[in-house]
Amino acid sequence: MHKLLLLAALFPAPAFAQAGSNATVTPYQAVDPMIGTGGEGHTYPGATAPFGMVQLSPDTDASCEIRECYGHAAGYRYDDPTIQGFSHTHFSGAGHSDLGDVLVMPQAGDTVQMDAGDPKQPGSGYRSRFSHDSETAAPGYYAVTLADSGIRAELTAGTRVGVHRYTFPAGKAAHLLIDLRTSLYNYPGKILWSGLHMHADGTLTGFRETRGWAPGRKLYFAMRFSKPLKSHAFVDRDENVKYRGFQGPGRGSDELAEKLGRALEARLDFGKVDGPLEVRVALSGVDEAGAIANLDAEAGSFDQVRAATQTAWQKALGAVEIDAPAPMRTNIYTALYHTLLAPSVWSDADGRYRGPDDQVHQAKDFTFRSTFSLWDTFRAEHPLLTLIQPEKTNSDIVNSLLASQKYSPQGILPVWQFAGRETWTMIGYHAVPVIADAYMKGIRGFDADAALDAMVASATYAPYGGLGDYMRLGYVPIDKEPEAASKTVEYAYDDWTIARMARAMGKDAIADRFEKRAGYWRNSFDTKSGWLRARKSDGDFRTPFDPAAINYGSDYTEGNAWQYSWFVPQDQAGLFRILGGDAKTIAKLDAMFDYDLSGVDYSHAEDIAGLIGQYIHGNEPSHHVAYLYDYAGAPWRTQERLAQIVDSQYKPTPDGLAGNDDLGQMSAWLVFTALGFYPVAPGSNQYVIGRPFVDHAAINLPNGKRFEITVDGLSPANRYIGSVTLNGKPLARTWLTDAEIRSGGELHFTMQATPNKQWGTAKSARPFSMSGTLQR
Amino acid sequence: MHKLLLLAALFPAPAFAQAGSNATVTPYQAVDPMIGTGGEGHTYPGATAPFGMVQLSPDTDASCEIRECYGHAAGYRYDDPTIQGFSHTHFSGAGHSDLGDVLVMPQAGDTVQMDAGDPKQPGSGYRSRFSHDSETAAPGYYAVTLADSGIRAELTAGTRVGVHRYTFPAGKAAHLLIDLRTSLYNYPGKILWSGLHMHADGTLTGFRETRGWAPGRKLYFAMRFSKPLKSHAFVDRDENVKYRGFQGPGRGSDELAEKLGRALEARLDFGKVDGPLEVRVALSGVDEAGAIANLDAEAGSFDQVRAATQTAWQKALGAVEIDAPAPMRTNIYTALYHTLLAPSVWSDADGRYRGPDDQVHQAKDFTFRSTFSLWDTFRAEHPLLTLIQPEKTNSDIVNSLLASQKYSPQGILPVWQFAGRETWTMIGYHAVPVIADAYMKGIRGFDADAALDAMVASATYAPYGGLGDYMRLGYVPIDKEPEAASKTVEYAYDDWTIARMARAMGKDAIADRFEKRAGYWRNSFDTKSGWLRARKSDGDFRTPFDPAAINYGSDYTEGNAWQYSWFVPQDQAGLFRILGGDAKTIAKLDAMFDYDLSGVDYSHAEDIAGLIGQYIHGNEPSHHVAYLYDYAGAPWRTQERLAQIVDSQYKPTPDGLAGNDDLGQMSAWLVFTALGFYPVAPGSNQYVIGRPFVDHAAINLPNGKRFEITVDGLSPANRYIGSVTLNGKPLARTWLTDAEIRSGGELHFTMQATPNKQWGTAKSARPFSMSGTLQR
């Protein structure tokens, strides 16, 4: 009985039997990791476990110069003709580059190439040509044939372990080259220090310290082989060393026990081997002993690790069941896959981790996770995880944020953190809404008092991003701080989530204080022109002003007034009153989407992709905007815009993502939107209804309940909602509460070809706004 | 009663009341830390506790180019006109340079200089002129007036804490500059990475990772101030950074909580302060938290720390009581002081330490010590410590060596280690005789089986220094390995000490194996010419050969055939037979001391100083040679040579050391020699009698017993031993056993003006030789 219950908990119900043509394709099979590896999606096709520390993936070019590196942020670029090697760390969809640690390249035959060669000259160096025809990519598994050597390369990964399996051409000697010189976004001086150690038992360990996006990042590894090592060489390719100290043992021989330097390579020789060579590699942010312990903690052959990870993926992907036409189903399951990669595990198997102070700490009763792209992921990625992942995952995330604050040199929550280190990328203090959203949804696996303290500390740390002036003036002044307009509105929203949580905890003084700050967005809003604008210390708005200019004087963050003037998730009604009411608001939203881009060139700007007029789906500030018609009483316009966005911005092809996936945010947007609702204001516990893009779906909730979305009559023509029922009763409003979803039930949509201009239009039907006529 | 006993244990008996003119000068007062700071002694005058982790001392020049750096190995050079600042780590008498970490310079007034200025232009930059008249130096205390600013600077130190006390001129603002760019033996690229953290409570922490003599050495510090910090700036002076990442909080301000980089400085502003500013600084090799904990572990003001350290020095120096003319007493007590500095504490207060694998380990029941200059210190420094320091100190040393072996990437004992890191400096595996000597003397605070395993592992690690060929051929071949002749004889001696210890442990197979190897010195000895010579793989001695050539083709280590042909401590009798017997041996020894150096220029060679003919007292290979006359039955010649050496090589002046003090070895030679005996062959438990240079002395042994040396008739004219008694009975032999000393008693010398050619000349009177007619 118990056993049966356990099995039921481990393996979610199978996908709907009633589904159509794709019923035999499992969620696992529906994922295509190649989606996003072209264009500027910046995803990687390699092997990883859910939230795994190791992302073992091919790098087609790790030698790029800074300008070209953006396109190689994930190491692999679909259009590239060669693979340089297989490295163990990658971001999924980041807009900035780093990682690509511990590159391994197998080589066959009598000579071993020690340099990668020129990416523009396939056939040079150790890089190899390859064909996409030889590639297989699935969650936790990647395979390719290296055409130049004929080596079959397969990759899989557990949580802290990556496993390579190389099948060498018969009769040829097997070698591995480990290149510690390569890195994504590489440039002279990036590698501060590195080391290689050959242990008596044949274990290879090493480390690298890099000055990259995260300065002074330390990564350790341990590597073991399924075949005995015949010989090895450790070499330092650094010509530019003024003083090397004294030579250690091994004079005249490279078969050293240890080599330290800034340009190290290891050549490993196995001779002719019978059958494939398996290479198990564990990472650690703590030390080499930690990497060895992580390697021991996840035992198993390539096939065993692959099977365990496949099971883990099936379980994780089983949280959402989808019945939809195959391309859409592939898009959604791939999106779901992408939402389950970060924040990834960073603590060792024994709970030790390296924190933002570069010191080693012990995680007690939680797994420390890092890779927090919070400016992106507070919007939909984290709210989605609260519905599809166990409470433990979400508590771990909060506990990781709190530990990071505790050990932050500045005493504040992470902004953009990976490998436990702060990078100071993007703006805001968006760990705050992540924590508030979790708390408001009843997640309690953390110390709420400590959390609120950490949130307040982050919102009041004067040296950060103009916060001192923000607190003094009520806005961030552009003459003191770049991107001041964006900062002002994002701080105000973050502040509102502090107020929400404080109020719920009965801490009214804090709630009052931050509720006041939640209105500071008004201080940077030009009520005359109807635009959010950057204001100077003297109170004047900065001139000249052009709402369509991007990066013009950096008033805004990766965008312009068109996108940022809509960012008041906590008070869209207040904004709409300033804009002159519903009609004028709708007209302005339409003007945004229908903006004529002829003659406009934004190619100089970062992360501007996926343009529908001035609506820029490839970047986050626009992500909630299509849902705003709901707030103005015109939900059928939201329904139209969503069709427009989904049809144009997501395709089941390598270049199928309109912009960087941003650690799951682009994908989480699709998962939510396809299900029919979206968290416009995390912290509000409201999901704003758009329209479904599935025939049938279910969320297997972390509490064991099930929330079904059933849809009648969905087709390309039937893009409008006719009616909605929740648990069989008509639903007049355009939003759902988190409690309604979390208690399980059925949301039923009836679709039709014409707009239903009665449904959801009443004032009482509109979603939360803190100064709205209907506040909740 | 117990209390009285305790006090008696803590405070050794006062120096002899019967002493002459210097009876009122305590041992503590007799120490002059300035001795060795001129010439090439390479000692430092600053403040340190016995075996302290912190050596807080002025650096007169840390900007030297590589060629000039040798003379600044300890940071301070007596002849220099300016002080650059006060840094926290220094070697005492090393022949190579590194350290000089965390330089602090106080500044007064309105402007703060951020660069040291040109050492050749006093008055430039933050360096300051000073006068030796304003200096005071005593164990654990140093003071100087910085003439340019008028600041009085005082330094003291506990075990892991240094304390600065700066008295600023009235009415001038007080500042400190922390310069993390400076280092001893500095050059571009040495500083791999560094960081500064300002904590909310005003604690400043930081770290630095350097690629110096020890590559990738990490050092952490924590600093607190007796006055509130008014403001601070962290700046990065590195112009050559390709990519800095994103700017952290504090835009437009240098008042950062954190700064990372490779050329960091901190400016600390205290405004006008009442009374002196005290700065407490703790170090750690583990992390910044460790440094803070070390700071907390040793509380106290400047005066309290100074007093505690003075008490510790009084206790340590009280192990030897000396009555001698003032200059000799100063020389001996200063020498004793220098023998009590290394191996210095490296583990944190909580027992954590960074080992040779760069990983953090926990010392259980011992204090991890590092700074092992073993090629030097196995000779007399370590044997001396077994007589004057508690068993715990000596066990700690062995346990540190064993832990280092355990965590060594190569699995071998340290060669020349500091900060837990191996530097591969000099030759041999001389941790082996240190351990064997301790074991043979009955020190048991370590795992003897593990120790023997570690010793065998070190003596059989083929990749190290030609050991593979040594084991195969019976000697190190010069065509494969430089300095082959020196390596062969030093390995053979080390092997003999393994045999001794193994035999004592009843491990006869190991004893037999290494006893055989102990005879390998013969394989590199040219019996025809009577010289130790380098031999090639084919068995031939390398030609051309010139016994007086130094560094000629690197057959020898810092020396030539004159010095190295005497290095058979385990079998001097065997050597003398090859040389043709006593008379020929004595003639050859005389030829060495009386060698005519006219026209000889050794200025190109390292560490060649203190020449008496070809006897080179400034370097270690000669150190036992004057005692060898005893082995040839001519102890009066030993007595003559010792007078010649002591008179010419030790003076109570800054340039009073003939060569590098080498972490106490030069000094330990003097302490032993002054007492009248010397450990020619550590591991033999024999001390070879020379002649005393004191009127009266006593060793307060670690077991609580007391061994007195009493001397009748000592004077410059009376340089010969007339007779010797031990505990009142005539002593006919020219050696003592360790047991005889350790059981306490009285060794009495009667001195006379003419040689006593009867005493100690019999074969039966001669010290140990493994192939001697009289073996013991």
Cβ(B396)–Cβ(B369) under 8 Å?
Answer: yes
Mark which residues 119-158 of A lie under 8 Å from B by CB. Answer: none
**Mean pLDDT to the nearest integer, B563-577:** 97
pLDDT tens profile A370-426: 999 999 999 999 999 999 999 999 999 999 999 999 999 999 999 999 999 999 999
d(CA B770, CA B776): 8
How far is it, in rounded angstroms, from Cα A745 to Cα A727? Answer: 6
Per the CB < 8 Å rule, is B211 touching A197? no
CA distance A254 to A196: 12
The residues pairing with A280 across neighbouring beta strands, listed in sequence order, are A163, A224
Residues of chain A with CATH 2.70.98.10: 31-240+247-312
ipTM of the complex: 0.93
Q: Where in chain A is the domain with CATH 3.30.2080.10?
A: 318-765
Strands B85-87 and A720-726: unpaired
Burial of A645 (0-12, 13-18, 19+ CB in 10 A): buried
Distance (Å, whole) CA B323 – CA B20: 8
Q: CA A399, CA B96: separation in Å to the nearest integer?
A: 48
> Where in chain B are all domains bearing CATH 2.70.98.10?
50-312
Give residue B409's Cα distance to chain centre: 25
- Look-up of token digits 């190619």: A603
Q: Is the pLDDT of residue B1 over 50?
A: no
Chain A residue whose CA is closest to B249: A464
Cβ–Cβ gap A189/B250 under 8 Å? no
How far, in Å, CA of B636 to CA of A605, rounded? 90
CA–CA gap between residue A617 and residue B649 (Å, rounded): 82
- CB atoms inside a 10 Å sphere around CB B203: 18
Is the pLDDT score of A259 beyond 80?
A: yes
Kindly state the average pLDDT of the residues B174-191.
95
**Residue B193: both structure tokens together:** 């990475």
The yes-or-no verdict on residue A474 having pLDDT over 70 is yes
pLDDT of residue B123: 85
Residue B774 has pLDDT above 60, yes or no: no
Instruction: Look up residue B537 and give its amino acid.
Output: S
The CA-CA-CA angle for residues B502, B504, B510, to 5°, reads 20
- Contact residues, chain B, for A412 at CB < 8 Å: 249
Cα–Cα dist A127/A146, whole Å? 9
Size (chain A), residues:
776
Which residues, in sequence order, are CB contacts of A597 under 8 Å at separation 6+?
A611, A613
Helices A582-593 and A572-579: crossing angle in degrees, nearest 10, is 90
Cα separation, A694 vs A697, whole angstroms: 7
Residue B331 pLDDT greater than 70, yes or no: yes
CB contact under 8 A, A211 and B192: no
Looking at residue B248, its pLDDT comes to 87
Can you tell me which residue has the tokens 């670690």? Answer: B702
Sheet containing A151-157, strands listed edge to edge, beginning at the edge strand earlier in sequence = A136-138, A141-146, A151-157, A161-167, A277-284, A215-225, A204-211, A191-198, A258-261
- Cβ-Cβ contacts under 8 Å for B93 (sequence gap 6 or more): B36, B41, B42, B43, B74, B338, B657, B660, B661, B662, B663, B664, B666, B667
B197, B204, B242: best mutation site toward chain A, by most A Cβ within 10 Å? Answer: B242
- Looking at domain B50-312, its CATH architecture is Distorted Sandwich (2.70)
Extract the tokens encoding B115: 């660069």
Q: Cβ(A433)–Cβ(A493) under 8 Å? A: yes
Query: Percentage of residues in chain B with pLDDT exceeding 90?
Result: 89
- The crossing angle, in degrees rounded to 10, of helices B448-459 and B484-504 is 160
Using CA coordinates, name the residue in chain B closest to A465.
Answer: B249
Residue B655 in contact with partner chain A when CB distance is under 8 A: no
**pLDDT tens figures, A245-255:** 888 898 667 89
For chain A, give percent helix, strand, coil, nearest 5: 30, 20, 50
- Cβ contact B463–A255 (<8 Å): yes
Fold classification of B318-765 is GH92 mannosidase fold (3.30.2080)
For residue B489, what pLDDT is reported? Answer: 98
Beta bridge partners of A266: A178, A234
Residue A238 has pLDDT above 80, yes or no: yes
- Nearest CB among A213, A243, A411 relative to B200 is that of A411
Residue B213 with chain A: CB contacts under 8 Å:
245-246
Token pair for A730: 């008509």
- For residue A440, the one-letter residue type is M
- The beta-carbon neighbor of A189 closest among B241, B287, B411 is B241
Q: Is A288 on the interface with B (CB under 8 A)?
A: yes
Q: What is the pLDDT of residue A66?
A: 55
Closest by CA position to A12, among listed A311, A442, A330: A311
Using a CB–CB cutoff of 8 Å, tell me whether B215 touches chain A. Answer: yes
Interface contact A197-B357, CB threshold 8 A: yes
Residue B275: predicted pLDDT: 96
The DSSP string of B622-682 is GTTGGGHHHHTT-HHHHHHHHHHHHHHHB-SSTT-BSS--TTTHHHHHHHHHHHTEE-SST
Q: What is the pLDDT of residue A14?
A: 45
Give residue-wise pLDDT tens across range A542-591: 999 999 988 656 899 999 999 999 999 999 999 999 999 999 999 999 99
CA–CA gap between residue B476 and residue A141 (Å, rounded): 53
Q: Tell me the pLDDT band of B4, cut-offs 50, 70 and 90.
A: very low
Q: How far apart (Å, rounded) are the C-alpha atoms in residues A194 and A205?
A: 11
**What is the band of B605 on the pLDDT scale with cuts at 50, 70, 90?**
confident
Rounded to whole angstroms, the Cα distance separating A206 from A570 reads: 49
In eight-state DSSP terms, residue A657 is: B
pLDDT at B63 over 90: no
Residue A607: per-residue pLDDT: 73
Chain B residues inside the 8 Å CB shell of A465: 249, 251
Q: CB-side exposure of B746: number of CA atoms within 13 Å? A: 12
Q: pLDDT band for position B551 (50/70/90)?
A: low
Flag whether pLDDT at A684 surpasses 60: yes
Considering only CB atoms, A463 lies closest to which of B185, B195, B249, namely B249
Contact, B122 vs B129, CB < 8 A?
yes
Distance CA(B518)–CA(B499), nearest Å, equals 8
Closest CA in chain B for residue A259: B409
Distances (CA, A) of A763 to A130, A580, A775, B41, B728: 59, 16, 11, 90, 114
Residue A213 touches chain B, beta carbons under 8 Å: yes
Q: What value does the mean pLDDT of chain B take?
A: 94
A249–chain B Cβ distance below 8 A for any pair: yes
pLDDT of residue B373: 98
Residue range A321-348: average pLDDT?
A: 98
Partner-chain contact B260 A215, CB within 8 Å: yes
Q: Work out how many CB contacts closer than 8 A connect A with B.
A: 144
Please give the distance of CA A763 from its chain centroid, rounded to a whole number: 36
Predicted confidence band at B552 (pLDDT cuts at 50, 70, 90)? Answer: low
* A212/B contact by beta carbon, under 8 A: yes
Of B258, B262, B422, which to mutate for an interface test with A (greatest number of A Cβ within 10 Å)? B258
What is the secondary structure of A112-132 as a DSSP string?
---S---TTSTTSTT-EE--G
Q: Which of A146, A145, A165, A163 is nearest to A154 (CA)?
A: A165
Closest CA–CA distance from residue A480 to any residue of chain B (Å): 9
Task: Give the tens place of pLDDT for each residue, B672-694.
Answer: 999 999 999 999 999 999 999 99
Angle at B63 between CA B59 and CA B68, to 5 degrees: 95
**For position B140, what pLDDT does the model report?**
98
Report the distance separating Cα A593 and Cα A400, nearest Å.
39
- In this prediction, residue B66 carries a pLDDT of 55
Q: Look at A409 and B241 and tell me if their CB atoms are within 8 Å.
A: no
Could you tell me which CATH class the domain A31-240+247-312 is placed in?
A: mainly beta
pLDDT at A208 over 60: yes
For chain A, give the percent of residues with pLDDT over 70. Answer: 95
| Phi and psi torsions of B65, nearest 5° | -75, 165
Residue A600: per-residue pLDDT: 87
CA distance A702 to chain B (A): 37
What per-residue confidence (pLDDT) applies to A54? 98
pLDDT of the residue at A776: 39
> At residue A729, what are phi and psi to the nearest 5 degrees?
-105, 140
Nearest Cα to Cα of residue A409 among B288, B582, B684? B288
Choice between B67 and A187, residue whose per-residue pLDDT is larger:
A187
Q: Which of B246, B253, B256 is nearest to A557 (CA)?
A: B246
